[in-house]
Chains A and B, each alone.
Chain A
Amino acid sequence: MSEIRYREAVGRALREEMLRDENVFLMGEDIGVFDGAFKVTEGLMDEFGEKRVRDTPISENSIVGMGVGSAMLGLRPVVELMTINFSLLAMDQIVNHAAHIRYMFGGRVSVPLVIRMPQGAGNQLGPTHSHCFEALYLHVPGLLVAVPSTPADALGLLKSAIRDDNPVIFIEHETLYQEKGEVPEGEHLVPFGKAAVRREGTDVTIVGISRMARTAERAAQILEDEHGVSAEVIDPRTLRPLDLDTILTSLKKTNHCIVVEEGWPHGGVGANIAALVQEHGFDDLDGPVLRVTGADVPMPYSKSLEHLAYPHEPQVIEAVLASLGRKAPA
């Protein structure tokens, strides 16, 4: 094991897969000469050249579209969109095309494309640069959606994503790039559809999405230290496919479930998981599945307001205590 940063783990996955398969190449804005807006692709243009590390103009829809076309003919493009906010400009290629091509052409062609992009609030970037869109992409059949929260998962999931024949939406988090974590030596692959149990517990199941898996872990520690509550923390790691079984197995033990996400509440990941849990695990529930979500507002710029607009440990703790009947919901 060695300790590396999340952004280094993403870069390592790209490098290893480019060394393994010459069909793997990168396209994106400022990923080459500039080394990437978040330095994820640092050094890769020097190592692999401009053919395989391609700086693009600011043309999100066409960058993704060219990824789609080249993937249909057997290349394995990894497109970096500088942030998930700009993926809105590429929605036609992602939803109408990448996601639907295989089905609408009768299963006769695949799109082994990976679109990587970071999301998230916390850097005072305001309404247009702080989005969390995992729910948007989770909604679309034909896509796979990964939301790694640790360096090891970023490495292992990205390598799996590049090798898979389906289009993958690979959602990183802007505030996690500098985070360090243990990463196994040698080849490390993490399968899609296999949740990680970050912390075992017996009183309540907390499902954390993307960065919120980390927030949930810290909240669980406080719950144990200050409230005597034993929380089990589950990080689904991929939302399509979703490892519902791990959540349901945990629920059989705890009978309480909280979902924590940074995105908006309506039509969110938590809404989806709450629906699935009540459909498949109703008899194991002692109360409603509660959601802790981002506020239902565009992300404000002001530091103090921004802090209020996405979940932190106190909101998670409050929801857990409410679920356990220790305190009325706020």
Chain B
Amino acid sequence: MAVKNPEGAVPPRPPSGPIPDTAAATEWLATMMLVRRFEERAGESYTRAKVGGFLHLAIGEEAVVVGAARALRDTDWLISTYRSHGHALARGTDPGRVMAELYGKTTGSSGGRGGSMHIFDLDRRFMGGWGIVGGNIPIGAGFALQSSYRGNDEVTLCVLGDGATNQGTFGETLNLAALWKLPVVFLVTNNRFGMGTSIERHSAVTDLVRKGEGLGVEGQRCDGMDVAATQAAISEAVEISRAEQRPILVEAMTYRFRGHSMADPEKYRTKEQVEEWKLRDPIPNFTERLIAEGIVDKTGAEELDKQAIAQVDAAVEFADASPEPAPESLHDGVYSLGGEVHGWLSTDPPQDPAS
């Protein structure tokens, strides 16, 4: 299973992971296309100032996004980072609600309170979008602690980047998860850069599977440019974690084609390196493979892409047409009311909830 590629080199092979049935393979391709088209449009909306704040695109990493989501049961939990639009979409969140969140609208998945970094969909067990590097790691382990405590068979898939493996909480949490035998899979989306610092410059140990092993968490590596290989690796890890009640780390080797965020002159890498990795673009490569295996034809693939574009068109239209949050809603949601809190402000006197 492990892909042993030399550091810095592009994994050289075409997608070769196990292909599922036709319907599933086609759906994976369609979802990768949706994620790609969604993020391209989000980038355009950002340059038109429809989207504010930070916008981190995962273009190039779609195989990891979709492979991860398709390794889970509906009852499992997925928690991601600040680069998480795709995870929500792959989990089934309406693209309109994700786009509306980027637009800061009241119909957004977090009501316009969270923005790009804090997409959230409890109904689909997509547990966020988290803005602080590494901040989601113990929280994901906390979801797994809940599963362990209640003795149910849910697994948590906790996504982090290569940069997050340098945070103290990475070491703290992996140690705890191993000690307490928690059903959590840590998926390290290794796109080779912590913002603009390459992995060789940010981590003394660049083999991130080894980093996890040093903390008591077994791991494996997969080709993150191949959705089928990624899905297989994560799926295996998730099922081992579920059956044996222990944490596992999966390192997915991938690359982002765009900058870290929208404001990134990309001085830290060469155009040649980007072009080299683009040869491994997970979408055309998986498309070619499905065509070669007779699962879709060229027209069928083009039709899937058109459908993705149409979905994104509808999402933008929905976001554009949605209302801004009402001014009087500014304080809504800070506190859960009714218990020890009866008003919005610290100065509000306690009131009888019945009155």
Which residues of A are in contact with B by a Cβ distance under 8 Å? 25, 51, 54, 56-57, 59, 61-75, 92-93, 96-97, 102-110, 138, 141-142, 144, 160-161, 163-166, 168, 191-194, 238-245, 276, 280
**Residue of chain B at shortest CB distance from A189:** B340
Complex Cα–Cα for A168 and B179 (A): 27
**Nearest 6 CB-CB pairs, A to B?**
A69-B142, A65-B138, A107-B333, A106-B111, A192-B340, A62-B172
Complex Cα–Cα for A72 and B343 (A): 22
Query: B169 contacts A164, CB within 8 Å?
Result: no
Min CB distance, A94 to chain B, in Å? 11
**Residue of chain A at shortest CB distance from B179:** A57
**Residue of chain A at shortest CB distance from B119:** A105
**Which of A67, A92, A241 is the one whose CB lies under 8 Å from B340?**
A241
**Residue of chain B at shortest CB distance from A280:** B347
Query: A65 contacts B143, CB within 8 Å?
Result: no
Query: A72 contacts B339, CB within 8 Å?
Result: no
Query: B336 contacts A68, CB within 8 Å?
Result: no
Given contacts A59-B175, A62-B173, A70-B146, contact A245 B339 (CB under 8 A): no
For residue A68, which residues in chain B have a CB less than 8 angstroms away from its CB? Answer: 138-139, 142
Query: B113 contacts A161, CB within 8 Å?
Result: no
Chain B 84-141 interface residues, beta-carbon cutoff 8 Å to A:
108-114, 118, 120, 122, 127-128, 130-132, 135, 137-141
Chain B 24-62 interface residues, beta-carbon cutoff 8 Å to A:
none
**Which of A57, A69, A104 is the one whose CB lies under 8 Å from B172?**
A57
Query: A62 contacts B176, CB within 8 Å?
Result: yes
Query: B113 contacts A104, CB within 8 Å?
Result: yes
For residue B142, which residues in chain A have a CB less than 8 angstroms away from its CB? Answer: 65-73
**Residue of chain B at shortest CB distance from A59:** B172
**Which of A62, A107, A141, A165 is the one whose CB lies under 8 Å from B169?**
A62
Q: Does B265 contact A (CB under 8 A)?
A: no
Min CB distance, B215 to chain A, in Å? 11
**Which of A66, A241, A244 lies at the interface centre, i.e. has the most chain B CB atoms within 10 A of its CB?**
A66
**Residue of chain B at shortest CB distance from A138:** B346
Query: A144 contacts B341, CB within 8 Å?
Result: yes
Query: B110 contacts A166, CB within 8 Å?
Result: no
Complex Cα–Cα for A110 and B131 (A): 18
For residue A192, which residues in chain B have a CB less than 8 angstroms away from its CB? Answer: 340-341, 350
Complex Cα–Cα for A103 and B128 (A): 13
**Residue of chain A at shortest CB distance from B151:** A51
Q: How many residues of B contact A (CB 8 A)?
A: 52
Can you report 26 A-B residue pairs in the complex whose CB atoms are below 8 A from each other?
Answer: A54-B180, A61-B169, A65-B141, A66-B139, A68-B142, A69-B139, A69-B146, A72-B127, A73-B142, A73-B143, A93-B138, A93-B139, A97-B132, A104-B118, A106-B113, A106-B120, A106-B333, A107-B113, A160-B339, A164-B339, A165-B339, A166-B335, A192-B340, A241-B348, A243-B350, A245-B349
Min CB distance, B141 to chain A, in Å? 5
Given contacts A105-B128, A108-B120, A241-B340, contact A70 B176 (CB under 8 A): no
For residue A65, which residues in chain B have a CB less than 8 angstroms away from its CB? Answer: 135, 137-139, 141-142, 169, 173
Given contacts A65-B138, A69-B139, A193-B349, contact A51 B149 (CB under 8 A): yes
Query: A72 contacts B139, CB within 8 Å?
Result: yes
**Which of A75, A97, A104 lies at the interface centre, i.e. has the most chain B CB atoms within 10 A of its CB?**
A104
Query: B333 contacts A103, CB within 8 Å?
Result: yes
Q: Does B328 contact A (CB under 8 A)?
A: no
Query: B333 contacts A241, CB within 8 Å?
Result: no
Query: A276 contacts B340, CB within 8 Å?
Result: no
**Which of A54, A73, A142, A243 lies at the interface centre, i.e. has the most chain B CB atoms within 10 A of its CB?**
A73
Complex Cα–Cα for A69 and B79 (A): 10
Query: B172 contacts A165, CB within 8 Å?
Result: no
Given contacts A69-B143, A109-B120, A164-B341, contact A57 B350 (CB under 8 A): no
Complex Cα–Cα for A142 and B332 (A): 11
Which residues of B are in contact with A by a Cβ distance under 8 Å? 77, 108-114, 118, 120, 122, 127-128, 130-132, 135, 137-146, 149, 168-169, 172-173, 175-176, 179-180, 332-336, 338-343, 346-350
For residue A66, which residues in chain B have a CB less than 8 angstroms away from its CB? Answer: 138-139, 141-142, 145, 173, 176
For residue B132, which residues in chain A have a CB less than 8 angstroms away from its CB? Answer: 92, 96-97
**Residue of chain B at shortest CB distance from A61:** B169
Min CB distance, B93 to chain A, in Å? 12
Query: B172 contacts A61, CB within 8 Å?
Result: yes
**Which of A62, A63, A103, A243 is the one whose CB lies under 8 Å from B137?**
A62
Query: B114 contacts A106, CB within 8 Å?
Result: yes
Given contacts A57-B179, A75-B149, A105-B118, contact A166 B341 (CB under 8 A): yes
Complex Cα–Cα for A194 and B113 (A): 31
For residue A104, which residues in chain B have a CB less than 8 angstroms away from its CB? Answer: 110, 113-114, 118
Min CB distance, A316 to chain B, in Å? 24
**Residue of chain A at shortest CB distance from B127:** A72
Query: A166 contacts B118, CB within 8 Å?
Result: no
Extra contacts besides A69-B146, A239-B346 (20): CB < 8 Å: A61-B169, A61-B172, A65-B135, A65-B139, A65-B173, A66-B142, A68-B142, A69-B141, A71-B142, A74-B146, A97-B135, A105-B122, A106-B120, A144-B335, A165-B339, A166-B335, A166-B340, A193-B342, A243-B349, A244-B347
For residue A102, which residues in chain B have a CB less than 8 angstroms away from its CB? Answer: 333-336
For residue A168, which residues in chain B have a CB less than 8 angstroms away from its CB? Answer: 340
**Which of B143, B333, B342 is the one whose CB lies under 8 Å from A72?**
B143
Given contacts A96-B135, A166-B341, contact A106 B109 (CB under 8 A): yes
Query: B175 contacts A165, CB within 8 Å?
Result: no
For residue A96, which residues in chain B have a CB less than 8 angstroms away from its CB? Answer: 131-132, 135
**Residue of chain A at shortest CB distance from B134:** A92
Complex Cα–Cα for A119 and B342 (A): 28
Complex Cα–Cα for A187 and B108 (A): 43
Min CB distance, B126 to chain A, in Å? 11
**Which of A73, A109, A243 is the one whose CB lies under 8 Å from B146?**
A73
Given contacts A65-B142, A69-B138, A166-B341, contact A107 B172 (CB under 8 A): no
For residue A97, which residues in chain B have a CB less than 8 angstroms away from its CB? Answer: 130, 132, 135, 139
